[in-house]
Amino acid sequence: MAGLARRQLLAAAGGLWLLRPVQATPESLNAALRDFSGGAPLREGRVQLDIAPLVDNGNTVPVSVAVPGVPAEQVLALALFTERNPQSEVVRVQFGPRAGERTMATRMRLATSQQLVAVARLADGSCWMQRVDVIVTLSACLE
Amino acid sequence: MRRGLLVLGLLAAALPLQADDRRSSFLDMSPATQAMQRDDSLNPGMLWVLQGAQAWSQPAATGGPSCAGCHGEATQSMRGVAARYPAFDAALGRPVDLGQRIAACQQRVQPGAADAEAGLALQAYVAHQSRGLPIAPPDDARLQAPRERGQQLWTRRLGQLDLACSDCHEALAGRRLGGSPIPQGHPTGYPIYRLEWQGLGTLQRRLRACLTGVRAEPFAADAPEWVELALYLAWRARGMPLETPGVRP
Amino acid sequence: MARTLITLPAAVRRDAVFQVRTLLQHPMESGFRVGADGRVLPRDIVRRFRCLYNGELVIEAELSPAIAANPFIEFSVRAVDSGSLLFEWTGDQGFAQREQRPLVVA
């Protein structure tokens, strides 16, 4: 019974998969952004981050990143970061010579309502990003 | 609040869903989650269906025949089977759900080989063969009393929150509980890939979560109540198409 | 061997760009959850995914605990010659999985 009560309490804290009081900070997010960009300034634009503004369940959230309008061979890498997950990193992707369009889609975990940042690094060294705010509600009737 | 719910609950108990009011909880989901279910290349439940397909053709480690050895091609022999469950099992002398039927078969034919993981995959695979077919509870007199007990469970107040299933899933279906839409609670997609679980699970697992949700002590794992509830839910959802593997939040 | 579900077209035209979808059955244990005994369940995730096309890199992804269980990755490939696509997942606890699929380019 104690285990059950604790799981419900922790579930109320924002998702069963995150239980240690660890959280990304604005500093850790900025550090992650700097690490990916190699110190290049981050400009808003050119990156398209697709995610539902209100998700069904924060445990599994479809997300996709694209860089429309930029010739494919100029886009070297993409990355996704969060503001309030336990860690800032979500995924980093590097494209090789056989890549088609510079896009990727995956499913991520969102610990709570927060901002996501998608970043693209281009061949000329420039970095572009888009920020999106996402709302996460808690599922009803958890085990 | 509770008095309001009590009044609504009494009204709801007197007004079960009419046949044309029924909606699958598929319709309560966001477009992204609907897309995840609709496309077999996106649906994580298909990983278990594939696993079940392989288990179907595998002879038991203990030397018994594979499922295919007796049942042949599942795409033919298992078509429509899941739509008729729960059903009365003469050998066991009681109603069983599909998972229990598979486990009983495994124990009889492949003694010692049954494991829960393979059983779940097989359940997904077999139920998938009924995808698109209407839920069709058997017209079996032996199921009547258990089904009525299931209906009583559906309308009985349970747990510290003192709520009956019908309090939320009849009159309040379509409204929201803490941001999530309240479904009508039809078992159209089981076993489902539940995003909350990040895995596949049975109707029994989902009902267990419901009981926890109203802070009730869940029934014992092998209690007849699970199947009685499932019998009533299948009858309540009769005619609605199966979606296995469903994806649900 | 973990189960995978890989979707790509059976045949494509030369120079066409096509989508590949991959699903891998894996718990992606984040390393942040606590078990029933009160101890943290150790991290057990897929850390890297790669796709090679006739030996050349298409895409390489570094995954984190923020990727949901049963990781889904979809990406785009440009068709050149017939051959095969190789998919590799590696991660904690020595996890390593490879799958290969043929590709016909007309």
CATH number, position C55: 2.60.40.10
What is the spatial distance between Cα A10 and Cα A22, in angstroms, rounded to a whole number? 14
Kindly tell me if the per-residue pLDDT of A12 is higher than 90.
no
Q: Which residue has the higher pLDDT, A43 or A13?
A: A43
Residue B186 near residue B237, CB atoms below 8 Å:
yes
CATH, residue A48 = 2.60.40.2470
Could you give the residue numbers annotated as active site of B?
210
| Structural domain count of chain A | 1
Cα dist from B99 to B14, B87, B106, B224, C65, whole Å: 32, 11, 11, 14, 32
Helix (H, G, I), strand (E, B) or coil at C40: strand
For residue B191, is the peptide bond before it cis, meaning its omega torsion is within 30 degrees of 0? yes
- When divided into structural domains, chain B yields a total of 1
Selecting from A52, A137, A142 the residue whose C-beta is nearest the C-beta of B32 gives: A52
Among B33, B180, B205, beta carbon nearest to A140: B180
Which of A36, A55, A84, A109 to probe by mutation at the C interface, max C CB count within 10 Å?
A: A109
Q: Which domain holds residue A73?
A: 22-136
Would B121 be classed as within a structural domain?
yes
Q: What does the pLDDT read at residue B115? A: 79
Task: Look at chain C and report how many structural domains it folds into.
Answer: 1
* Cβ neighbourhood burial of B149 (10 Å; 0-12, 13-18, 19+): middle
According to DSSP, residue B151 is labeled: H
Does residue C36 lie within any of the structural domains? no
Q: Which residues of A touch B196 (CB under 8 A)?
A: 16, 57, 59, 139, 142
**Mean pLDDT comparison of A22-36, A104-118, B7-21, highest-scoring range:** A104-118
pLDDT at C54 over 90: yes
Query: What strands lie across the sheet with A61-66, from one edge to the other?
Result: A48-51, A61-66, A99-108, C72-78, C17-24, C4-7
Residue C52: give the domain boundaries.
4-31+42-105
Question: Cβ(B186)–Cβ(B240) under 8 Å?
Answer: yes
C102 pLDDT band, cuts 50/70/90, is very high
Of the partner residues A18, A85, A99, the one whose CB lies closest to the CB of residue C77: A99
Q: What is the mean pLDDT of chain C?
A: 96
**Backbone region of residue A66 per phi and psi (left: phi > 0; alpha: psi in -120 to 50; beta: other values):** beta
Query: H or E element: which one contains C17?
Result: strand C17-24
Residue B98 counted as domain residue: yes
Measured between alpha carbons, how far is B173 from B183 in angstroms, rounded to an integer? 5
Structure tokens at C50: 């790669």
Q: Are B85 and B98 in contact (CB under 8 A)?
A: yes
Is the distance from CB of B129 to CB of B82 less than 8 angstroms?
Answer: yes
Q: Do C25 and B51 touch (CB under 8 A)?
A: yes
Place of tokens 């996402």: A134
C70 found inside a domain: yes
pLDDT digit string (tens) for C10-41?
899 999 999 999 999 999 999 998 888 999 99
Q: How confident is the model at residue A4 (pLDDT cuts 50, 70, 90)?
A: very low
In a domain, C37, yes or no: no
The three-class DSSP label of residue A54 is: strand
In contact, C74 and C19? CB cutoff 8 Å = yes
- The Cα-based distances of A116 to A119, B22, B31 in angstroms read 10, 37, 20
Q: Which helix (H) or strand (E) holds C104?
A: strand C96-105
- Taking the CA of residue A141 and the nearest CA in chain B, the distance in Å comes to 4
Q: Residue B70: which domain range?
A: 25-249
Note whether residue B20 is domain-resident. Answer: no
Computed on alpha carbons and rounded to an integer, the radius of gyration of chain C in Å comes to 16
Do the domain assignments include residue C79?
A: yes
Instruction: For chain A, state the CA radius of gyration.
Output: 17
Q: Which CATH number do you get for residue B128?
A: 1.10.760.10
Residue C83, min C-alpha distance to chain B (Å): 22
- Upstream peptide bond of B137 is cis (omega within 30 degrees of 0): no
Chain B residues within 8 A of A52 when measuring between CB atoms: 30-32
> Which residues does chain B have with pLDDT short of 50?
9, 11-14
Q: Which tokens go with A100?
A: 């088609």
ipTM of this complex: 0.95
Q: Is the dihedral of CA B34, B40, B43, B45 positive or negative?
A: positive
Whether B40 is in a domain gets the answer: yes
Q: Is C11 contained in some domain?
A: yes
B8 domain residue, yes or no: no
Write down the pLDDT at residue A23: 74
Interface contact B209-A143, CB threshold 8 A: yes
Quote the pLDDT of residue A10. Answer: 42
Nearest-CA distance B87 → chain C (Å): 31
Contact B231, B143 (CB under 8 A): yes
Residues of A in contact with B208 (CB under 8 A): 143
